[in-house]
């Protein structure tokens, strides 16, 4: 166990009937670290994300976040503590404009919203930070577009922008590159690289290029068990990792997937 960890997961267990989705799983994320979690389909990555975010309750185990136990805390309270996430399946407000989407995320960290009179779209304290967030992800040109009209790649960018906009202590990205083309993935990788050292990140991802260029450490999850944790170089060279997940010598080829 590492001391001073921002997120600390200990002995986490979760099963669905006979399926053990998470088996005595432990994980420590240090402040400023970019930590990737990889594993084949059905390894329990989505379950782990849901457990950390608070959408699922573990059968056993403890989750601590910045020194506080959050195992029983609801999703919105965890978010308030600074644990933000993005969704694997794009989860934006389709009927709102792109700027509205991010402004709503800014609003989430700007005190309570029991404010009934002032027009939310005219509050500079919400709109300006939202706009600069769009600048950061390269979506300013689409600020006034309705979110539903964005291309898939742009929607993924918006998804990330909203997660970043709440200025989280820890950002949990659930397959941010899912369904993206090679060029879009590279753009997003570059964006995340620019956050290196400034943003603590847990990245669940299948795109091995992204994982190996971003991660400080990588955890390998297979059938709900953490079979290895280490730096990219260590993970790359582990025979059991190759066998369990990477498959053979040609990593990139083996890691493409369809789902």
Partner 1 sequence: MDNFRHFDLRSAALFLLLAVLAVIPLFGDIFYTRLMTRIMIYAMAALSLDLILGYGGMVSLGHAAFLGVGAYTVGILSLWGVQSAFLSWPLAMLVSMLMALVIGAISLRVSGVSFIMITLAFAQMLYYCFISLKGYGGSDGMTLPVRSSLAGLLDISRHGSFYYLVLCILLLIFFAAHRLVHSRFGMVVQGIRDNERRMLALGFPAFRYKLVCFVLAAGVAGLAGALMANQNLYVGPALMHWKQSAEILVMVILGGMRSLAGPVLGAMALLIAEEALSSYTEHWMIILGPLLVIVVLFGRKGIYGMLKRSR
Q: Which of 66, 139, 62 is nearest to 103 (CA)?
A: 139
How many C-beta neighbours within 10 Å does residue 132 have?
12
**Looking at 31, 95, 141, 197, which residue binds partner 1 (CB under 8 A)?**
95
Cα torsion at 75, 77, 78, 81 (round to 10°)?
Answer: 160
Residues 100-159 that bind partner 1 (CB under 8 A): 100, 103-105, 107-109, 113-121, 123, 126
CA dist., res. 5 & res. 229, Å (int): 15
For β-strands 200-204 and 170-174, DSSP reports them as parallel
Pick between residue 40 and residue 176 the one whose CB is nearest to partner 1. Answer: 176
Minimum distance from CB of 203 to partner 1 (Å)? 17
**Looking at 19, 41, 60, 94, which residue binds partner 1 (CB under 8 A)?**
94
Minimum distance from CB of 156 to partner 1 (Å)? 14
**Looking at 20, 56, 66, 93, which residue binds partner 1 (CB under 8 A)?**
93
Pick between residue 55 and residue 186 the one whose CB is nearest to partner 1. Answer: 55
Q: Which of these segments, 63-71, 93-101, 192-200, 249-257, binds partner 1 (CB under 8 A)?
A: 93-101
Q: Which of these segments, 4-12, 18-26, 79-87, 226-234, binds partner 1 (CB under 8 A)?
A: 79-87
In which element (H, E) is residue 145 found? none
Pick between residue 73 and residue 228 the one whose CB is nearest to partner 1. Answer: 73
In which element (H, E) is residue 164 found? helix 152-165
Minimum distance from CB of 58 to partner 1 (Å)? 18
CA dist., res. 112 & res. 124, Å (int): 17
Which residues have C-beta within 8 Å of that of residue 115, sequence separation ≥ 6?
A: none
Q: Which of these segments, 5-13, 31-39, 58-66, 73-81, binds partner 1 (CB under 8 A)?
A: 73-81
State the first-to-last Cα distance of the chain, in angstroms, to the nearest integer: 35
CA dist., res. 119 & res. 253, Å (int): 51
CA dist., res. 88 & res. 68, Å (int): 27
**Looking at 43, 52, 92, 244, which residue binds partner 1 (CB under 8 A)?**
92
Q: Which residues bind partner 1 (CB under 8 A)?
A: 53, 55, 74-77, 79-80, 84-85, 87, 91-96, 100, 103-105, 107-109, 113-121, 123, 126, 162, 166
């Amino acid at each position: 166990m590492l001391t001073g960890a921002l997120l600390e997961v200990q002995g986490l267990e979760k099963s669905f009937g006979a399926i053990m989705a998470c088996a005595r799983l432990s994980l420590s994320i240090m402040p400023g670290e970019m930590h990737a979690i990889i594993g084949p389909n059905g390894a329990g990555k989505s379950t782990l994300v849901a457990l950390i975010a608070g959408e699922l309750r573990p059968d056993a185990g403890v989750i601590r976040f910045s020194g506080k136990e959050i195992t029983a805390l609801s999703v919105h309270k965890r978010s308030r503590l600074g644990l933000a996430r993005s969704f694997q399946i794009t989860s934006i407000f389709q009927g709102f404009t792109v700027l509205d989407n991010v402004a709503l995320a800014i609003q989430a960290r700007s005190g309570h919203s029991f404010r009934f009179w002032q027009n939310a779209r005219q509050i500079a304290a919400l709109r300006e930070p939202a706009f600069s967030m769009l600048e950061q992800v390269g979506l300013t040109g689409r600020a006034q577009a309705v979110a539903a009209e964005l291309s898939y790649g742009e929607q993924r960018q918006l998804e990330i922008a909203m997660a970043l906009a709440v200025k989280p202590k820890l950002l949990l990205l659930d397959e941010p590159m899912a369904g993206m083309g090679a060029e879009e993935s590279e753009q997003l990788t570059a964006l995340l690289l620019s956050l290196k050292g400034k943003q603590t990140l847990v990245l669940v991802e299948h795109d091995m290029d992204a994982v190996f260029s971003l991660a400080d450490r990588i955890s390998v999850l297979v059938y709900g068990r953490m079979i290895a944790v280490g730096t990219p170089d260590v993970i790359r060279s582990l025979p059991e990792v190759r066998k369990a997940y990477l498959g053979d010598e040609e990593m990139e080829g083996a890691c493409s997937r369809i789902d």
